[in-house]
Amino acid sequence: MTDLIIRPGTDDDIPAIVSADERGFSARMSELERADAFTVLPPENFLLAVDSGDPVDGVVGVAAAYDMAMTLPGGAALPSRGVAWVSVPATHRRRGILRALMAEQLRGFVEAGTPLAILTASHASIYGRFGYGEATRNRTVEIDPRFAQFRAGAPDPGGVRYAETAEIGEHAAEIHRRWVARTPGAVSRSAAWWARFLHDREYSRGGGTRRFHLVHPDGWVTYRSHWGGEAPTLRAEVFAVTDESHAALWRVLLAQELVRSVTARIPLDDPLPLLLTDPRIVATTEVADGLWARVLDVPTVLSARRYAVEVDTVLDVQDDFLGRGGRFRLQGGPDGATCTPTSDAAQVTLDVADLGSLVTGCVRARTLAAAARLAAEPAELARLDAAFVPERDPVHGTDF
Ligand SMILES: CC(C)(COP(=O)(O)OP(=O)(O)OC[C@H]1O[C@@H](n2cnc3c(N)ncnc32)[C@H](O)[C@@H]1OP(=O)(O)O)[C@@H](O)C(=O)NCCC(=O)NCCS
């Protein structure tokens, strides 16, 4: 390799970006998918690592970033850059190209004043070294609806109807906004993202049917049927803003007949099993890391969050990769918080990646301490642990 240059993408780079993605993820993008992709994420949102001596297309690394927001416990939406399309070709791996791209990209986010970077990872072992920590968990469940029986006394509010994709737009976007606002770790969707969603293109169906929608005044479910064997599986996404809409929508989803199973990603603390006479039929088939968060501005992030109980502590945040750490006094509670740099002695020490896990409430302070990733005296740890518990378990709701 000759000189490595890192620069933003342009329209002219689209073919090279697509080639890199197709090679990196064994994918094939049609003209239509390509056009849609660069409408949602324009080429200038890409950073390219270019080997000036490469005889083919010169692009030896790609990393892009969406403009998004992520919800913190308490409901504040924090501007975030959503990192995606990360790849380095097999010919150039393990030479530090990803590291160089990550450093440049994060420096750019800091310069622009962005407090948080987020991503979903192909391997859970890659991004910790760049300061990302696990911020939400995906729990996938599979339910055989033949055995689903709701308990006597479980809410049965009704009010659910089917809707077509052509008429769903406004309602879905409004429900999603309300759902994001009440859900720690949830990420926003842009207007361009919704436009692509509403096209429901063939390429996005993964072998499933077109989308079906169930709507309720306070909730929305979208699903596809995927045929396999003698009966299909329904793959559903559930966005319920109230307990009533949650029960109403699940009642209709589990009333489906002639289907093998209903699968969905639900939060770890989802009340669904408790609505049923046999909670075990909500079989968890996977729990895995979901969103990863990288704190770029400790005071902004920690002061935007709300805390379950009063907290007053000094955190020593270590950030070897980007140097955004230091010592910070955090004073907060259920109604608000302040966080400022301080020279006072630290009561809690942790890495910036683990702060990314703590901030959404994905991993408890006690759990980090048990894994020797956070240090604090026992009484301080108990207070910190209680303060960072979120109002509900974090989920992100949109892969990107
Ligand atoms: C993952 C990928 C981008 C890494 O690129 P790369 O240029 O080889 O990475 P680097 O040489 O900069 O490695 C940086 C560090 O990450 C580690 N690393 C890189 N890829 C890794 C992987 N897949 N699993 C675990 N660690 C990995 C390296 O060992 C290195 O560690 P070190 O800093 O302790 O030495 C590349 O392998 C790839 O394109 N894979 C296929 C597509 C993909 O998975 N993309 C990520 C999508 S989220």
**Which CATH number characterizes residue 257's domain?**
3.40.630.30
**CA nearest ligand 1 atom 39, residue:** 87
Q: 394 lies in a domain?
A: no
Q: 93 C-alpha vs ligand 1 centroid, how far in Å?
A: 7
Q: 187 lies in a domain?
A: yes
Residue 39, CA distances (Å) to 1, 34, 196 in order: 32, 9, 9
**CA nearest ligand 1 atom 4, residue:** 98
Number of helices (H) and strands (E), helices first, in the chain?
A: 11, 19
Shared domain for 151 and 265, answered yes or no, is yes
User: What confidence score (pLDDT) does residue 195 get?
Assistant: 95
Burial of 140 (0-12, 13-18, 19+ CB in 10 A): middle
**CA nearest ligand 1 atom 15, residue:** 99
Shared domain for 105 and 143, answered yes or no, is no
Task: Collect all residues with Cβ–Cβ distance below 8 Å to 391 and sequence separation of at least 6.
Answer: 73, 74, 184, 308
Measured CA angle at 320 (ends 20, 125), to 5 deg: 45
Provide the residue range defining the domain that includes 372. 297-387
Looking at the chain, the whole-number percentage of residues with pLDDT higher than 90 is 96
Count of the separate structural domains present in the chain: 3
Task: Collect all residues with Cβ–Cβ distance below 8 Å to 397 and sequence separation of at least 6.
Answer: 176, 179, 180, 183, 186, 187, 237, 239
With H, G, I as helix, E, B as strand and everything else as coil, classify residue 339: strand
Residues 7-42: tens digit of each pLDDT: 999 999 999 999 999 999 999 999 999 999 999 999
- The whole-number average pLDDT for the span 258-271 is 97
Cα–Cα distance, 160 to 290 (Å, whole number): 29
Shared domain for 148 and 270, answered yes or no, is yes
- The whole-number average pLDDT for the span 197-221 is 96
Which residue of 48, 83, 93 sits with most ligand 1 atoms within 8 Å of its CB, as the best mutation to test the pocket? 93
- The whole-number average pLDDT for the span 38-63 is 90
Instruction: Give ligand 1 pocket residues (Cβ under 6 A).
Output: 24-25, 86-88, 93-99, 121-123, 125-126, 129
Task: Collect all residues with Cβ–Cβ distance below 8 Å to 45 and sequence separation of at least 6.
Answer: 9, 64, 65, 66, 67
Predicted confidence (pLDDT) at residue 247 exceeds the cutoff of 80: yes
Lowest mean pLDDT among 2-6, 36-40, 165-169, 384-388: 2-6
The torsion defined by the Cα of 41, 219, 262 and 168, in degrees rounded to 10, comes to -50
Among 267, 287, 307, identify where a domain stops.
Answer: 287
Task: Collect all residues with Cβ–Cβ distance below 8 Å to 124 and sequence separation of at least 6.
Answer: 134, 288, 289
Q: 180 C-alpha vs ligand 1 centroid, how far in Å?
A: 31
Counting atoms of ligand 1 from 1, which one is nearest the CA of 87? 39
Largest Cα span, the chain = 71
- The whole-number average pLDDT for the span 340-349 is 98
Q: 60 C-alpha vs ligand 1 centroid, how far in Å?
A: 13
Among 82, 114, 146, identify where a domain stops.
Answer: 114
Q: What is the strand order of the sheet 348-351 is part of?
A: 336-341, 326-333, 311-318, 348-351, 374-376
Shared domain for 189 and 270, answered yes or no, is yes
User: What confidence score (pLDDT) does residue 190 get?
Assistant: 96
Strand pairing of 133-134 and 231-240? unpaired
Q: What is the CATH number of the domain that holds 372?
A: 3.30.1050.10
- The whole-number average pLDDT for the span 276-280 is 98
**Using an 8 Å Cβ cutoff, are 358 and 352 in contact?**
no
Among 80, 114, 148, identify where a domain stops.
Answer: 114
Q: 312 lies in a domain?
A: yes
Q: 365 C-alpha vs ligand 1 centroid, how far in Å?
A: 28
Lowest mean pLDDT among 17-26, 108-117, 274-283: 17-26
**Using an 8 Å Cβ cutoff, are 115 and 70 in contact?**
no
Q: 126 C-alpha vs ligand 1 centroid, how far in Å?
A: 6
**CA nearest ligand 1 atom 17, residue:** 126
Predicted confidence (pLDDT) at residue 67 exceeds the cutoff of 90: yes
Q: 122 C-alpha vs ligand 1 centroid, how far in Å?
A: 10
Cα–Cα distance, 171 to 176 (Å, whole number): 8
Q: 397 lies in a domain?
A: no
Residue 213, CA distances (Å) to 33, 140, 145, 199, 223 in order: 23, 20, 18, 14, 6
Predicted confidence (pLDDT) at residue 57 exceeds the cutoff of 80: no
Q: 129 lies in a domain?
A: no
Predicted confidence (pLDDT) at residue 305 exceeds the cutoff of 70: yes
Mean pLDDT of the chain: 96
Shared domain for 62 and 175, answered yes or no, is no
Shared domain for 196 and 239, answered yes or no, is yes
Give the pLDDT band (50/70/90) at residue 324.
Answer: very high
The string of DSSP letters for 362-384 reads SS-HHHHHHTTSEEE-HHHHHHH
**CA nearest ligand 1 atom 29, residue:** 94
Shared domain for 279 and 145, answered yes or no, is yes
Highest mean pLDDT: which range of 52-61, 111-120, 227-236: 111-120
Predicted confidence (pLDDT) at residue 56 exceeds the cutoff of 80: no
Q: 301 lies in a domain?
A: yes
Counting atoms of ligand 1 from 1, which one is nearest the CA of 25? 42
Q: 94 C-alpha vs ligand 1 centroid, how far in Å?
A: 7
Shared domain for 179 and 98, answered yes or no, is no
Predicted confidence (pLDDT) at residue 55 exceeds the cutoff of 70: no
Q: 133 lies in a domain?
A: no
Shared domain for 243 and 361, answered yes or no, is no
Shared domain for 85 and 36, answered yes or no, is yes
Predicted confidence (pLDDT) at residue 353 exceeds the cutoff of 90: yes
Task: Collect all residues with Cβ–Cβ distance below 8 Å to 190 and sequence separation of at least 6.
Answer: 40, 66, 67, 68
User: What confidence score (pLDDT) does residue 229 get?
Assistant: 85
**Using an 8 Å Cβ cutoff, are 80 and 359 in contact?**
no
Cα–Cα distance, 62 to 46 (Å, whole number): 7
Predicted confidence (pLDDT) at residue 1 exceeds the cutoff of 90: no
**CA nearest ligand 1 atom 27, residue:** 126
Residues 176-195: tens digit of each pLDDT: 999 999 999 999 999 999 99
